[in-house]
């Protein structure tokens, strides 16, 4: 007991030492949270403050306040945008519907106010060209900030909200109703639950990288297209194809536009810093493809990296990264459309492309006159995997599905069917 008494002051000192930083961190988080909530309230006020201008345009042009078709379109677009942040469709749609009702209340107020004694403002801005784009911009910012402030758990913030949203023509009752809808916005706990609840798997694909992802007769085809459909079937949901590109792939990931990207994507540390990858399902590397008559001329990287040699590359992906890092003497030609890049070589407008060995294999089968200049050799080591948002539950499901499909032979069959 005496020992415990002597050690107690030391214990208290240690507690203070460790708890002080935690308390400071908590206070900092609370301060940031308060600023975000304040920002959210400001954005909502800014959006509603434009409604007098919307009313002026409608009043001047003898348009009705009610526009059911337009309202439905706005709700659909807002719900889809909210889903990118993991907000549940029902709760987000209800919140946006309350915003529309608040907007109409303000417009009705001004329709009744305008008269000879209080005329409509003379400088009325265009609804289509000025006001709606501004409203859409504010709406997107509101969605993002709702996600950042989630969850709002303090009901006493309703008073702050009512005071903050100071817009002429908007009743306190509507403000309280709008805050209640904001308070009840919900998020899916994880990506897997979101996919199962919505019945939709959003798959991003570039559509320009055979044999993984290409387009034939306006339909997506390829190894990853086949496997994407199998993944959706395992979940009992429908596939929604999301168009992306190599330059915008990581931006689209951060924007939440897809649940999984399946397009022959190479794992890299820079991409790993921004998202998750599934386990790899293919290994390979970069190798050159040239006109068959010039195989000997370009049988090594040293021979390729020479003045006068024209190396063609598609921008935005690992091909461009490799060329940027490894080719400093040859002329580099950037070609936006990966689907027509091999025709440029055949036509003599470029000499070499350095791309993944599996793509070289496919194109030499499909394009007479093109050959691998370093057959069975690669200049790099690469792993193909599926790009995912940072969600461990979803990653675990994808990894389990992929492991089973590789063991069962489904992945091998997809490769065999598309490599011809």
- The answer to whether residue 8 is domain-embedded is no
**Sign of the torsion angle spanned by Cα atoms 176, 179, 183, 184:** positive
Numbers of helices and strands, H then E, in the chain: 17, 13
Pair (342, 398) in one structural domain: no
Check whether the bond before 151 is cis (ω within 30° of 0).
Answer: yes
According to DSSP, the residues that pair with 148 across neighbouring strands are none
Pair (209, 264) in one structural domain: yes
Q: Where are the alpha helices (DSSP H) in 61-185?
A: 68-83, 89-113, 132-149, 157-164, 172-183
Tokens for 290, please give them: 């040239």
Last residue of a domain, one of 183, 209, 231: 183
Which pLDDT does position 29 carry in this prediction? 60
Which secondary structure element, helix H or strand E, spans residue 41, and what is its range?
helix 2-49
Identify the segments of the chain with pLDDT beneath 50. 1-20, 22, 24-28
**In this structure, what CATH number is given to the domain that contains residue 233?**
3.40.190.10
| Residue linked to tokens 């501004």 | 134
Pair (164, 151) in one structural domain: yes
| Domain, as residue range, for 217 | 191-283+383-418
**In this structure, what CATH number is given to the domain that contains residue 135?**
1.20.59.10
Which pLDDT does position 15 carry in this prediction? 44
- The answer to whether residue 44 is domain-embedded is yes
Burial code (b: 16+ CB inside 10 Å, e: under 16) for 249-267 equals bbebbeebbbbbbbbbbbb
Read off the pLDDT of residues 19-67 as tens digits, 9 standing for 90 and up.
445 454 444 467 888 899 999 999 999 999 999 999 999 999 999 999 9
- The answer to whether residue 14 is domain-embedded is no
Pair (213, 248) in one structural domain: yes
Pair (336, 261) in one structural domain: no
Measured torsion, CA atoms of residues 312, 316, 322, 323, in degrees rounded to the nearest 10? 30
Which pLDDT does position 116 carry in this prediction? 72
Nearest to 287 by CA among 277, 274, 300, 268: 300
Last residue of a domain, one of 183, 217, 236: 183
Q: State pTM to two decimals.
A: 0.81
Pair (169, 38) in one structural domain: yes
- The answer to whether residue 20 is domain-embedded is no
Pair (49, 168) in one structural domain: yes
Pair (231, 313) in one structural domain: no
Last residue of a domain, one of 147, 165, 183: 183
Taking the C-alpha atoms of residue 147 and residue 87, their distance in angstroms, rounded to an integer, is 7
Distances (CA, A) of 414 to 327, 357, 417: 34, 17, 5
- The answer to whether residue 37 is domain-embedded is yes
Pair (179, 305) in one structural domain: no
Tokens for 207, please give them: 């559509």
Pair (319, 396) in one structural domain: no
82: which residues sit within 8 A by CB, 6+ positions away?
A: 89, 92, 96, 143, 146, 147
Which pLDDT does position 1 carry in this prediction? 44
Pair (375, 394) in one structural domain: no
Pair (153, 214) in one structural domain: no
- The answer to whether residue 13 is domain-embedded is no
Q: How many domains does the chain have?
A: 3
- The answer to whether residue 332 is domain-embedded is yes
- The answer to whether residue 275 is domain-embedded is yes
């Amino acid at each position: 007991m005496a020992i415990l008494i002597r050690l107690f002051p030391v214990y208290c000192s240690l507690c203070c030492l460790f708890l002080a930083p935690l308390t400071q961190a908590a206070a900092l988080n609370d301060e940031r949270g308060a600023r975000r909530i304040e920002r959210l309230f400001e954005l909502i006020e800014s959006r509603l403050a434009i409604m007098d201008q919307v009313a002026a345009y409608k009043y001047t042009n003898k348009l009705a306040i009610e526009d059911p078709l337009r309202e439905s379109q706005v709700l659909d677009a807002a719900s889809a945008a909210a889903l990118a942040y993991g907000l549940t469709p029902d709760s987000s749609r209800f919140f946006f519907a309350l915003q529309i009702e608040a907007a109409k209340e303000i417009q009705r107020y001004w329709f009744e106010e305008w008269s000879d004694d209080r005329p409509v403002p003379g400088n009325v801005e265009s609804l289509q060209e000025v006001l709606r784009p501004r409203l859409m911009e504010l709406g997107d910012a509101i969605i993002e900030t709702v996600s950042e402030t989630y969850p709002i758990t303090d009901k006493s913030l309703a008073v702050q909200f009512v005071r903050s949203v100071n817009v002429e023509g908007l009743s306190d009752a509507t403000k309280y109703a709008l805050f209640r809808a904001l308070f009840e916005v919900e998020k899916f706990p994880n990506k897997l639950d979101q996919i199962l609840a919505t019945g939709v798997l959003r798959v991003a694909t570039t559509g320009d990288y055979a044999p993984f992802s290409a387009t034939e007769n306006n339909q997506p085809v390829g190894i990853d297209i086949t496997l994407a459909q199998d993944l959706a079937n395992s979940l009992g949901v429908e596939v929604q194809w999301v168009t992306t590109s190599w330059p915008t792939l990581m931006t689209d990931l951060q924007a939440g536009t897809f649940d999984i990207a399946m397009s022959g994507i190479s794992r890299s540390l820079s991409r790993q810093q921004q998202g998750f990858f599934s386990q790899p399902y293919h290994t390979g590397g970069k190798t050159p493809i040239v006109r068959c008559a010039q195989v000997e001329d370009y049988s090594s990287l040293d021979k390729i990296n020479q003045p006068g040699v024209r190396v063609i590359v598609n921008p935005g992906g690992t091909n461009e990264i490799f060329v940027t890092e490894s080719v400093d003497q040859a002329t580099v030609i950037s070609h936006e459309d990966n689907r027509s890049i091999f025709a440029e070589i055949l036509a003599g407008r470029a000499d070499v492309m350095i791309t993944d060995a599996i793509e070289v294999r496919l194109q030499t089968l499909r394009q007479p006159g093109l050959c691998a200049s370093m057959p069975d050799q690669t200049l790099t080591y690469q792993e193909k995997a599926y790009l995912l948002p940072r969600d461990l539950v979803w990653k675990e499901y994808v990894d389990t599905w992929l492991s089973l499909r590789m063991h069962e032979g489904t992945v091998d069959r997809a490769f065999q069917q598309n490599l011809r």
